Homo-oligomer: A and B are copies of this chain.
């Protein structure tokens, strides 16, 4: 069957049947529930996900057949019913969180690195390494809406794309690893976007974030000792270097795992950043973009995540120190707790108002839940090699 709306590398895959954890064949009455307390957990080794709820902390269902999700992320429809999961293999899978089944799955690229959903919930954008560029799909049908190959230079080579996030006004922003350029694709006037290109973003930008207000786009640089920043509210958009030379003049450490910029926290007027290769998190003033402090931590930080109220920062670490979590009290800038959840703590997700945090402990095949006031474990759930955890409250956030 030829589907002209799909690019020639995309294909519609067979939908595999979900495995029920509870009673088989739940009725619509049994499935009737709110979706604000739902979430999913990536089981990376088995290509499956768990659908969970955070009120009673239970697993509702396992869904299989998602392909290679060794580096997967997810976004949610604005009604918090559907999840869109971006797999490493270019797979884009739409999940019905209530029925616990795959609605549709396509393979839209060869090597995908993440995605985003537009503020009106209508468009899903996926960032690809191979072929380099961004593809945009209809959120309802997963039909291709726009293809944006990341061409650069004289011979129109294709760049890997990184740091794809949504912006207010039906826009997406992403960055070209090979070209050091940031592009903004504006879909406000329809499905043929206007694309604005911002050059000179630095050497080998490897990831990026946008602040929760959609104003500041910050890019991590692999090829330079610093970061770059765009004030998206400015009349003229330009990339400017910040924290230049933050590791300069000191002995560099080998980097065991690149930190995730999604994990950068903004709290009480400070950005909290995992320092690449260093046993430190950096504090940066959110107005002046200058370093204000460093906090020494146990290992090389991967995620430095703020509790939703911003009073605590929870940090996990690269191997071989990835059995540990440290909790920083931001007002005093002190480490108030060192936890040892177990081997390979890969990811954390806070409940929407931050009373609890869930964390994947891959080596223990479990997800642990902690009370963020007492810092004590309150529950754990079995999971097969869990990695990313994504709660539906992300549906309501800009740039997640």
Residues of A near any B CB (own CB < 8 A):
27-29, 31-38, 53-55, 76-82, 97-99, 119-121, 166, 168-170, 188, 213-215, 233, 267-269, 286-287, 307-311, 331, 351-355, 372-373, 392-393, 395-398
Q: Say whether, besides A352-B396, A398-B353, A309 and B36 are in contact (CB < 8 Å).
A: no
Using A168-B353, A215-B310 as known contacts, list a sample of 10 further A-B pairs with CB atoms less than 8 Å apart, ordered by residue number in A.
A34-B35, A34-B82, A78-B351, A168-B307, A168-B311, A214-B309, A233-B311, A233-B331, A269-B287, A353-B398
Residues of B within 8 Å of A269, CB to CB, are 269, 286-287
Query: In the complex, which of the residues A36, A168, A215, A397 has the most CB atoms of chain B within 10 Å of its own CB atom?
Result: A36
* Min CB–CB distance A344 → chain B (angstroms): 29
What are the residues of chain B within 8 A of A268 when measuring CB–CB? Answer: 213, 215
The answer to whether B37 and A79 have CB atoms under 8 Å apart is: yes
Q: How many copies does the complex hold?
A: 2
* Bound complex: CA A396 to CA B77 (Å): 16
Are A309 and B168 in contact, CB atoms less than 8 angstroms apart?
Answer: yes
Q: Bound complex: CA of A77 vs CA of B37, how far in Å?
A: 9
Q: How far is the CB of A316 from chain B (nearest CB, A)?
A: 22
Q: Which residues from B are CB-within-8-Å of A37?
A: 78-80
From B119, B331, B354, B372, contact of A355 by CB (8 A): B119
Evaluate contact between B36 and A79: CB separation under 8 angstroms: yes
Is the beta-carbon distance between A310 and B213 smaller than 8 angstroms?
yes
Q: Do residues B398 and A80 form an inter-chain contact, with CB atoms below 8 A?
A: no
Instruction: Give the nearest-CB partner of A353 in chain B.
Output: B119
Do A35 and B35 contact each other (CB < 8 Å), given the known contacts A233-B331, A393-B396?
Answer: yes
Closest 6 CB pairs of A and B: A34-B81, A36-B80, A34-B79, A352-B396, A28-B28, A28-B29
Given contacts A77-B34, A309-B214, contact A169 B267 (CB under 8 A): no
Query: Known interface pairs A119-B355, A331-B233, A353-B396. Does A80 touch B32 (Cβ–Cβ under 8 Å)?
Result: no
Which of B80, B233, B287 interacts with A80 by CB under 8 Å?
B80
Are B373's CB and A78's CB within 8 A? no
Instruction: Report which residue of A34, A35, A170, A310 has the largest number of chain B beta carbons within 10 angstroms of its beta carbon.
Output: A34
* Distance (whole angstroms) from the CB of A391 to the closest CB of chain B: 9
Docked complex Cα distance between A106 and B44 (Å): 48
Known: A37-B79, A311-B213. A355 touches B169 (CB 8 A): yes
Q: Which of A28, A29, A98, A119 has the most CB atoms of chain B within a 10 A radius of its CB?
A: A119
Q: How far is the CA of A188 from the CA of B372 in the complex (A)?
A: 12
B34 A188 Cβ-Cβ under 8 A: no
A98 near B34: Cβ-Cβ < 8 Å? yes
